Amino acid sequence: MTDICSIVSPDESLGFLKPVLKSWTKIITSYSYKSYDDCPYYYSERMNTGLLGCAALMSNSFHPLEEHPIDRRIGPMKEKDNRSGRLDLWLVNCSSNKKNATDVIIESKMAWRPISIIKKSNDAASQLRRITGSYTRDCWKLSAVFCAPRFAESKFKEPEEKIMELIKSINESLKNSLDNKKYITAHCYPEAARSVNVGGNRGRYFYPGVSLVLVTV
């Protein structure tokens, strides 16, 4: 068995994020081999967002800012209808070339089933559209969905085959559902994570990896 990691970029306009996503897969894979009884992507949206921010820093492309204060519109487009909130992740481009130094703002969601990815992405996109303030006008706005699928022990006898089927299914579903949108996807399923049981009293379930889907808004 081997690590299964890949990046799918149907639209090369988001190709500038490939170094970030490569670093993201390295972080998760490295952690999986150092902690055979744990997987960092299982816990929460916040932890996954933090890992993505670390990857952005490691790629030498961005300075990550988590939970950045923003104003969000909650009613008609009037100032009194705004309220303060927090942006999950702001990636500040660290390029010295101002012309190409575009920032990226990200709203994150967590999904436990691939079938929920599109809905979660739409929810995040809705939040991004309500952000007010000229400082976000020229940024890339991306919804981020971290999907950590689970497998029951009885259905995980051939893990590598099951993972490949899962990734293929996710890629095909996104292609059909996001045909008119720009997106990029990364999959990270380290071999070391395939034996981690995090089901507890709910039964033996395996969470062998995570898929990340970034979609433009």
Q: How far apart, in whole angstroms, are the C-alpha atoms of residue 217 and residue 130?
A: 11
**Banded model confidence at residue 155, pLDDT cuts 50, 70, 90:** confident
Q: How far apart, in whole angstroms, are the C-alpha atoms of residue 178 and residue 200?
A: 36
Q: In what order do the strands lie in the sheet with 131-132?
A: 4-8, 183-189, 210-216, 140-147, 104-111, 82-93, 62-73, 131-132
Task: Judge contact between 203 and 152, C-beta under 8 A.
Answer: yes
Greater pLDDT, 73 or 138: 138
Q: Is pLDDT at 134 greater than 80 in this prediction?
A: no
Mean pLDDT throughout 171-190? 94
Q: Is pLDDT at 44 greater than 80 in this prediction?
A: yes
Helix boundaries (H) for the chain: 18-34, 45-58, 117-129, 159-177
Burial of residue 132 (number of CB atoms within 10 Å: 0-12, 13-18, 19+) = middle
What is the domain range of residue 128? 4-216
Please tell me whether residue 144 adopts helix, strand or coil conformation: strand
For residue 76, report the phi and psi dihedrals to the nearest 5 degrees: -55, 165
Tokens at 16, concatenated: 């500038």
Mean pLDDT throughout 49-60? 97
Query: How many domains does the chain divide into?
Result: 1
Task: Judge contact between 147 and 154, C-beta under 8 A.
Answer: no
Task: Judge contact between 171 and 185, C-beta under 8 A.
Answer: yes
Q: How far apart, in whole angstroms, are the C-alpha atoms of residue 188 and residue 40?
A: 12
**Banded model confidence at residue 168, pLDDT cuts 50, 70, 90:** very high
Closest CA relative to residue 35, chosen from 201, 195, 203, 212: 195
Q: How far apart, in whole angstroms, are the C-alpha atoms of residue 107 and residue 143?
A: 5
Tokens at 176, concatenated: 């059909």
**Banded model confidence at residue 42, pLDDT cuts 50, 70, 90:** confident
